Amino acid sequence: MRSRKNRLRFARSKIHDWGLFALEPIDAGEIVIEYIGEMIRQKVADHREKIYEKSGIGSSYLFRIDDDNIIDATKAGNLARFINHCCDPNCNAKIITVDTQKKIVIYANKPVAEGEEITYDYKFPIEEDKIPCLCGATACRGFLN
């Protein structure tokens, strides 16, 4: 993953704002990148979500890792924070445990061509106020949540 980092690049995305792109082909099943950020507990995440909403940042850089812990990549993290959601993604997110440390890894579930945008399904919980989905996939569900 570390070596692959330089073969990914963030740039303007057709889906939304910024996206992460492959600079070389990636085989199905290969790990692409780890989603890195600050490990915070639920209560702190709830508190930050309110602060981010107020300051217009939104809360889409918070990634749940288990019942009580969340990875927050809003103000500290790596390129993985730029990966956009897609309803028909070319990657999946998975939580693995390495030496008792839980990690979020994004891996390709189908071959990714050079220059293709990396995407995964955010699997946001269903909520009242909807976030429209811009992925443009034929099987698009219309909303992120």
Partner 1 sequence: WSAFAPDFRELDENVEYEEMEDEFDMVE
Partner 2 sequence: PVTLSFEVTHTAPQMKLSPDGLTIFTEKGYRMSKATHGVYEGCWYYEVKFHSNEKGHARVGWSQISGDLQAPCGCDVFSYSFRDSPGTLFHQSAHVKGNDAFSAGYIDMLDAIEDGDVLGIMINLPPPT
Residues 97 to 136 in contact with partner 1, rule: CB under 8 A: 101, 103
Tell me, by CB under 8 A, how many residues bind partner 1. Answer: 25
Tell me, by CB under 8 A, how many residues bind partner 2. Answer: 4
Interface segment toward partner 2; rule CB under 8 A; list 27-35, 41-49, 83-91, 106-114 = 41-49
Number of neighbouring beta carbons within 10 Å of residue 82: 22
State yes or no: residue 10 binds partner 1 (CB under 8 A): yes
* The CA-based dihedral angle spanning residues 113, 11, 142, 138, taken in that order and rounded to the nearest 10 degrees: -30
Question: CA 90 to CA 108: how far, in whole Å?
Answer: 6
Q: Are 1 and 34 in contact (CB under 8 A)?
A: yes
Report the amino acid identity of residue 54.
K
State yes or no: residue 38 binds partner 1 (CB under 8 A): yes
Applying CB under 8 A, which of residues 44, 57, 95, 140 lies at the interface with partner 2? 44
State yes or no: residue 47 binds partner 1 (CB under 8 A): yes
